[in-house]
Structure 1
């Protein structure tokens, strides 16, 4: 059954400044009860099911059932492994390794004393995404990334434990969906680092620890293993303009703490949006309210392009795209009052001035 996503457009502006910056835009205060995880149904922008490519995976609902453990010291016993110690203590093996200066292959010796970092840990289940986990607890995903030292390609594994921010509510289940939504915000970087589904590994099939059993029933991974988006090996082409129109907002500071991470180009509603270069669709949806319909293309070598305010989305996550392909139609979705395209180019997750990487317009 397809889920209906209710869009709340709380304000309109003439040019789009992304959230998560010191720009004065209000945070999203509307709960999206029907969409607790990433939207994969692109028909919400008017595309018929017959035209829409099938989603690459189905996002799993996340239950906020983290367990809190105390800081402590663990003395290594004969036969212990780092993963086994993590299961015994309830802490993350990655954090134990980082806290104690352990590097691969993580050799430990009997009698060795290891510092155990306390806090609230979430056990990752099959198909869960980082963004869905963050939303379930009402915490910023970017803080979870920093706390756990997550790095590219940002793929979680079943059984992995994620340390949650300490300032988050102790009992997220005591909060309403509206309260959790109000404390949760999302930006393009979150999509790039937190939208991959957790994958099962051989170790995940082992008997769960007593710590895990104490949380509650263990979810089994989906019958069909979710697909991780394959990143292009390298960026081998050049960027082209995705649309032809009047530039109404340039890249950079706009004063008063407002920053535009891309370009805004005025066009007629329904104007085709074309891929600026070859790539793979990393995201196609509407979960970042300020952008409305948004498409992210991964081009390899750390290059990503973003296309916002689309009226219709013609691609879905995981789809391979060639430069010049029509990926959607321009519109006025999101926080704008006239049809336009918000276009960004990012290198290693940081916005760069698109004009510096595009052909000169005549």
Structure 2
């Protein structure tokens, strides 16, 4: 009897020690207070404006076209928003219409009018510009990225072009991660390099965001290239450009760092009408 009790006591002590010594994994949100690459999808219909936000930053964070958000909230250029303001970021549900609206709505045209032809040509040009800019490239992880050539500042244009004329690599370093279409995947590419090395504009455009208000991106620069194409440069050490400043392809806009992440690298994204695209389809092929 005594021997049985002794075995039971020893077993109990062993189990208690095992439970006390086992560490429960902490939630990821506590281990990494910032999103690893800013790729998590935003699913809410509205967004509450935070200090430092701009309409372009909100559109980028929520994965929407800035023009759509402006339309949903009846905003006009220069799209001024305020902290605490609640913006609708998804299309309002107008599926249920009143009888009066249905009666007064004119029937769709049966033939092409001059306005329809003009609109069709414009849409066709935009689609063609989008397709022509794609250059499918599939470099392997670890490929060395060619050092970007910094160009002199050009005269500030007065409007955006219809399409991007030229893309250049935004940094010098090693390609460590590529684009993924998975919901939690990387929505851009990552280039590892040395702290303080140059980050340059990947194409001509205008700086529409410069700051660190967006969670998960650290010191971030967003450049608008056309009415539909934008690019983003995250995790910078220092930012060298200001909002509303025009920049040219290859112009130095920041220095590489690790703000918002755990290693020195550049996180680079390209978006068309608010949707993430594979940057490797636009950047020059690696040699």
Please indicate the TM-score interval, normalised by the length of the shorter structure: 0.5 to 0.7
Consecutive unaligned residues of structure 2, counting only runs of 5 or more, are: 1-29, 55-70, 95-156
Contact 1:305 1:345 in 2 (8 A): yes
Question: What is the CA–CA distance in structure 2 between the aligned matches of 1:125 and 1:253, rounded to whole Å?
Answer: 32
Contact 1:21 1:258 in 2 (8 A): no
Q: Give yes or no for the alignment of 1:319 onto 2:245.
A: yes
Question: What is the CA–CA distance in structure 2 between the aligned matches of 1:12 and 1:268, rounded to whole Å?
Answer: 24
Deviations 1:285-340 (A, max 9, x none): 11112001111111115111110111111111111101110000111111x10011
Question: What is the CA–CA distance in structure 2 between the aligned matches of 1:125 and 1:349, rounded to whole Å?
Answer: 18
Most deviating of 291-300 and 9-18: 9-18
Q: Give yes or no for the alignment of 1:333 onto 2:259.
A: yes
For the structure 1 residues 258 and 313, does the alpha-carbon distance in structure 2 shift closer, same or farther, using more than 3 Å as the test? Answer: same
Aligned pairs for 1:183-202 (under 5 A) are: none
Which segments of structure 1 move beyond 2 Å, counting only runs of 4 or more?
A: 12-15, 17-22, 35-39, 122-130, 146-149, 233-236
Deviation at 1:253, TM superposition (A): 4.0
The residue that corresponds to 2:205 in the other structure is: 279
The residue that corresponds to 2:89 in the other structure is: 142
Deviations 1:199-232 (A, max 9, x none): xxxxxxxxxxxxxxxxxxxxxxxxxxxxxx9751
The residue that corresponds to 2:190 in the other structure is: 264
Question: What is the CA–CA distance in structure 2 between the aligned matches of 1:17 and 1:233, rounded to whole Å?
Answer: 28
For the structure 1 residues 289 and 10, does the alpha-carbon distance in structure 2 shift closer, same or farther, using more than 3 Å as the test? Answer: farther
Q: Any idea what SS the aligned residue of 2:32 has?
A: coil
Q: Give yes or no for the alignment of 1:11 onto 2:44.
A: no
Question: What is the CA–CA distance in structure 1 between the aligned matches of 2:168 and 2:272, rounded to whole Å?
Answer: 16
Contact 1:261 1:352 in 2 (8 A): yes
What RMSD in Å do the two structures reach over aligned CA positions? 3.6
User: Could you say which structure has the higher helix fraction?
Assistant: 2
TM-score under structure 2 length normalisation:
0.52
Q: Any idea what SS the aligned residue of 2:250 has?
A: coil
TM-score under structure 1 length normalisation:
0.42
Question: What is the CA–CA distance in structure 1 between the aligned matches of 2:282 and 2:207, rounded to whole Å?
Answer: 20
Larger radius of gyration: 2
The residue that corresponds to 1:175 in the other structure is: none
Consecutive unaligned residues of structure 1, counting only runs of 5 or more, are: 1-8, 23-30, 40-93, 96-121, 150-228
Question: What is the CA–CA distance in structure 1 between the aligned matches of 2:272 and 2:77, rounded to whole Å?
Answer: 30
